[in-house]
Amino acid sequence: MTTVERVRLVGEGVDRVDGPLKATGAARYPNDFNLPDMAHAALVRSTVAAGRVRGLDTAAAESSPGVLAVITHRNAPSLGHGPDTILSTPPPPLQHDRILHYGQYLAVVVADTAEEATAAARRIKVDYDEAEALLDMHDPRAEVLVDPFKTDSDRGDAESALAAAEVQFEAAYTTSENTNSPLGLFTTVAAWDGDTLTVHDSTQWPGNVRTALARVFGLPENAVRVLAPFVGGGFGAGLRPWPHVVLAALAARTVGRPVKLVLSRPEMFTGTGHRTASEQRVRIGATRDGHLVALHHESTTTLQMEGDNFEPCASGTSYAYACPNLRTRDTQVRLNITWCNSMRAPGEAQGNFALESAMDELAYALGIDPLELRLRNYAEEHPGLGLPWSSKALRECYEVGAERFGWSRRDPEPGSMRDGDQLIGYGMAGVSFFWFQQPCQASATLREDGTALVRSAVTDIGTGTYTVMTQLSAELLGLPLSRVAFELGDSDMPEGAPAGGSGLTAGLGSAVQSACHNLVRAFLDIVRHDHTSPLRGCEVDEVAVADGRIFRMGSPGRGESYTDLLAAHGLHELTADGAATPGTSEELGIAPAGAFGAKFVEIRVDPELGTLHLERVVSAIDAGRILNEKTATSQILGGTVGGIGMALFEETVTDRDTGRIANGTFGDYLIPVNADIPDMQVIFVGRPDRFNPVGVKGVGEIGLVGMSAAIANAIHHATGRRLRSLPLTIDMLL
């Protein structure tokens, strides 16, 4: 069979297989599903951040035109709790009168039309017993969670090494809350048939939503089916089964009709999670010639009152550089805020801003080129595990990126490079992304017409999963692309991994590889004792596949086509399952590497008006094997745009006194527009990864990481000003 060693690093940039469906509008997103006799739901949200519901006047809503039901904590049935997986499921809604955050759901109104439901929902009057909300992460009353992710690390003697260091550096950095803001408003369409439930949902993980709904409603798992063939983006927002999903299903059961619930944009801001704010402190001890001797990174992020959020900002520093003495600390503070949740590059996005700004500051303090400083502290092996990396081409990222960018043209003196009245800034940052992979399953079927169908209950949230898995399956089965279909987005399919943590392609790719190998093995099994078959007695590692045929390795003439094999044995199709669980570093003797990258940016600052214009961005990325050059490049470009948003624009503002999201609309919460986006170049370097059977490391998030630091570093280069708080806005540059 084809092995990783023989594949090219960068796979062909074939067009998206689902492109025509999307371009013609034939791709159906959750919001595109309308069922016969469907009713519509609208939500009532708390307008206080803490306290209790004293009174709920639903009379006017109940008598509003078209209203079928009004469900509140007073008449809602008792519901079970969803699973706690990599992220906990929020508690089921409407179970009590307690309010823990602004925007918490207090009622759901079901009516014949969405307009009627919304109008009636507005007629519900809520009286509160308001309690004082904890909204400030420095509030001494707030609960502090120490080492909540069990990722804190210590190496050597970080305190003494810092105290004894020739050069000491210390600075504090802050980042703002950001909101994922996928374009597709999250939608749930729920329909019951007796005791079985079918749900169309905007999710990144159908299997998890199925388990959650089964537990909430006390059903066997196979009584729930979750469908998400197309999802209008997620950026992490679709990783948890949110309370509105439960409410849509509850509404449908209550009125005995299918129910559709589409969140509004303001509801997206309070109901589908956000990237937490962070406050971080970095302390570095170094020798005068730029060798790190001590590295301290502390981070505090915010957390909602119940449940968890995986957001380690400091821990990534433990493997970013070779440094004998290290200490990382992550803490969380519980507040009466809306749910915190993964947003593209959780933890890493914030942590990298602090670390890579600090490295730039240190470079200036030492008079060493920032790129050179990073190379002097290059971690040749995994600093925590002391094992060789499964793959690491960060040095190549630096070198190729710098070359392409023209870093050598940079005059290090701040304010020295100009274009008329505009100040020019060059900035860079390095990125060592975390490794993440989840178990995954897939199935592969070959049919008598010679086509293959490969399936897994995963999602393609716009990343290109349909396309790259079609390519991979075609390669593994030796079929042309046009003969392979990949299906996903249905919880009845083999259990899929979440589209998160940049781990889907690695996990799913491994499962698809396993399924395809098993399918070839199944074909070999049917001819195992067939004396007429040239493949008789062959093992899977003795054959190769091409052009719809299996043949003995090295002897293309000695084989049979899939269709002949099926026909000869009277089969319409043959199916095999595959499963993959990531290995461990103990087994493999190598440290699993995430992607690596180097970001280079050029900016212009108008020193009088404080305006900043990005000129260009070069991203050099080592993500192991790239399955499809086009879709992978798009991921890096999209990530870079997200990084520009985080660096320059995005800030979810919470009212200090009420906990209300003060800018929860697209008119108020700024994300970049085309005019803000410069020329962006992406270069892939490195080799297929050795930890992952397919050789991939994932490209979903790394594109975002490093942008904030690279821009802040470029601002320092342009203006001499060091900005340590995101987003970097005009008022800071005046």
Partner 1 sequence: MHEFEYLRADEVGRAVATVAGDPGASYLAGGTTQLDLMKDGVLAPDRLVDITRLPLGGIACDGDMLHVGAVTTMEELAADRTVAERLPFLRQALLLGASVQLRNMATIGGNLLQRTRCRYFRDPAVSACNKRLRGSGCAAVHGAARMHAILGASQHCIAVHASDMAVPLVALDAVVRLLGRHGERSVPLTEFYLLPGDTPDVENVLSRGELITAVEIPLLAPETRSTYLKVRDRASYEFALTSAAVALRLDGGVIGEARVALGGVGTVPWRAPAAEAVLRGAPAGEEAFTAAAEAAVVDPFTVEGTAFKVELAKRTLVRALRTVTAGAP
Name which of residues 207 to 266 contact partner 1 (CB under 8 A). 266
Q: How far is the CB of 726 from partner 1 (least distance, A)?
A: 14
Half-sphere exposure of 688 (CA within 13 A, CB side): 16
Cβ distance 450 to 548 under 8 Å? yes
Site track 59-98 with partner 1 (rule: CB under 8 A), x = hit: ------x---------------------------------
Stretch that binds partner 1, among 137-145, 228-236, 272-280, 608-616 (CB under 8 A): 608-616
Indicate the residue among 151 and 276 with the shorter CB distance to partner 1: 276
At position 649, the amino acid (one-letter code) is F
- Contacts (CB under 8 A) with partner 1, residues 23-62: 47
> In the complex, what is the shortest distance from the CB of residue 175 to partner 1, in angstroms, rounded to a whole number?
17
DSSP state of 732: H
- What is the edge-to-edge ordering of all strands in the sheet holding 98-99? 98-99, 51-57, 125-130
Work out which of 41, 43, 119, 354 binds partner 1, going by CB under 8 A.
119
- The answer to whether residue 146 forms part of the interface with partner 1 (CB under 8 A) is no
**Are the C-beta atoms of 304 and 335 separated by less than 8 Å?**
yes
CA distances (Å), origin 263, targets 115, 183, 207:
13, 12, 21
Of 100 and 354, the one with the shorter C-beta distance to partner 1 is 100
If one asks whether residue 734 binds partner 1 (CB under 8 A), the answer comes out as yes
| φ and ψ at residue 123, rounded to 5 degrees | -85, -5
Phi-psi region of 360 (alpha: psi -120 to 50; beta: other; left: phi over 0): alpha
Segment contacting partner 1 by CB under 8 A, of 239-247, 485-493, 652-660, 683-691: 652-660
From 380, 411, 539, 655, residue interacting with partner 1 (rule: CB under 8 A): 655
Q: Which of 140, 194, 554, 667 binds partner 1 (CB under 8 A)?
A: 667
Q: Determine the interface stretch with partner 1 among 87-95, 535-543, 565-573, 670-678 (rule: CB under 8 A).
A: 670-678
**Closer CB to partner 1, 588 or 653, in the complex:** 653
Q: Report the residue from 670, 681, 687, 721 that binds partner 1 according to the rule CB under 8 A.
A: 670
The residue among 583, 686, 670 whose CA lies nearest residue 626 is 686
Residue 187 CA from chain centroid, whole number: 19
Of 519, 382, 534, 334, nearest in space to 443 by CA: 519
**Nearer CB in complex with partner 1: 156/266:** 266
Among 676, 681, 721, 725, which residue interacts with partner 1 (rule: CB under 8 A)?
676
Which x/- pattern over 292-311 shows residues binding partner 1 (rule: CB under 8 A)?
Answer: --------------------
Stretch that binds partner 1, among 2-10, 425-433, 542-550, 653-661 (CB under 8 A): 653-661
Nearest distance, CB of residue 261 and partner 1, angstroms: 17
Q: Which stretch binds partner 1 (CB under 8 A): 189-197, 432-440, 609-617, 690-698?
A: 609-617
Binding of partner 1 by 662 (CB under 8 A): yes
Of the CA atoms within 13 Å of residue 470, those in its CB half-sphere come to 23
Cβ(723)–Cβ(648) below 8 Å: no
> What are the residue ranges of helices labelled H in 127-205?
158-164
> Which of 589, 602, 581, 435 has its CA nearest to residue 511?
581
**How far is the C-alpha of 591 from the C-alpha of 378, rounded, in Å?**
16
Among residues 430 and 664, whose Cβ is nearest to partner 1?
A: 664
For partner 1, the binding residue among 649, 693, 695, 724 (CB under 8 A) is 649
665 binds partner 1 (CB under 8 A): yes
**CB-nearer residue toward partner 1: 220 or 667:** 667
Contact call for residue 672 and partner 1 (CB under 8 A): yes
What is the smallest separation between the CB atom of 703 and partner 1, expressed in angstroms? 20
**Catalytic status, residue 701:** yes
Active-site residue identified among 267, 279, 356, 701: 701
| Residue 542 engages partner 1 in binding (rule: CB under 8 A) | no
One residue of 610, 616, 681, 687 binding partner 1 per CB under 8 A: 610
Q: How far is the CB of 185 from partner 1 (least distance, A)?
A: 13
Among the listed residues 8, 54, 74, 613, the single contact to partner 1 using CB under 8 A: 613
Query: Which residues sit opposite 190 in a β-bridge?
Result: 199, 259
Q: Identify whether 412 is preceded by a cis peptide bond (ω within 30 of 0).
A: no
Is 420 a binder of partner 1 (CB under 8 A)? no
Q: Which is nearer to partner 1, 3 or 665 (CB)?
A: 665
**Is residue 675 part of the contact set for partner 1 (CB under 8 A)?**
yes
**Nearest approach, Cβ of 181 to partner 1 (angstroms)?**
14
How far is residue 80 from each of residues 77, 187, 664, measured CA to CA in Å? Answer: 10, 22, 30
Question: Cα–Cα distance between 499 and 504 in angstroms, integer?
Answer: 5
Closest alpha carbon to 273 in 303, 247, 315, 230: 303
Indicate the SS3 state at residue 416. Answer: coil
Which of these ranges, 116-124, 330-338, 465-473, 708-716, lies near partner 1 under the rule CB under 8 A? 116-124
Judged by CB under 8 A, the number of residues near partner 1 is 34
The least CB distance from residue 106 to partner 1, in Å, is 12
Q: Which amino acid is at 563?
A: T
Paired residues of 300 in beta bridges:
279, 331
When binding is defined by CB under 8 A, the residue of 653, 681, 721, 725 that contacts partner 1 is 653
Task: State which residue, 20 or 65, has the beta carbon closest to partner 1.
Answer: 65
Q: Does 526 bind partner 1 (CB under 8 A)?
A: no
Written as six digits, the tokens of 117 are 């439901």
| Cβ-contact 300, 331 below 8 angstroms | yes
CB 12 within 8 A of CB 630: no
Q: Which of 663, 692, 713, 719 binds partner 1 (CB under 8 A)?
A: 663
Query: What number of other Cβ atoms are within 10 A of residue 221's Cβ?
Result: 13
If 0-12 CB within 10 Å is exposed, 13-18 middle and 19+ buried, where does residue 23 land?
exposed
Backbone angles phi, psi at 43, to 5 degrees: -105, 150
CA separation for the pair 311, 552 (Å, rounded):
50
Q: Using alpha carbons only, give the angle 474, 475, 481 rounded to the nearest 5 degrees.
A: 35
Give the list of residues 6+ apart from residue 372 with CB closer than 8 angstroms, or none. Answer: 290, 363
Distance, in Å, from the CA atom of 355 to the CA atom of 357, rounded to the nearest integer, reads 6
The catalytic residues are 701
Task: Give residues in contact with partner 1 (CB under 8 A).
Answer: 47, 65, 115, 118-119, 122, 266, 608-611, 613, 648-649, 653, 655-657, 660, 662-663, 665, 667-668, 670, 672-676, 729-731, 734
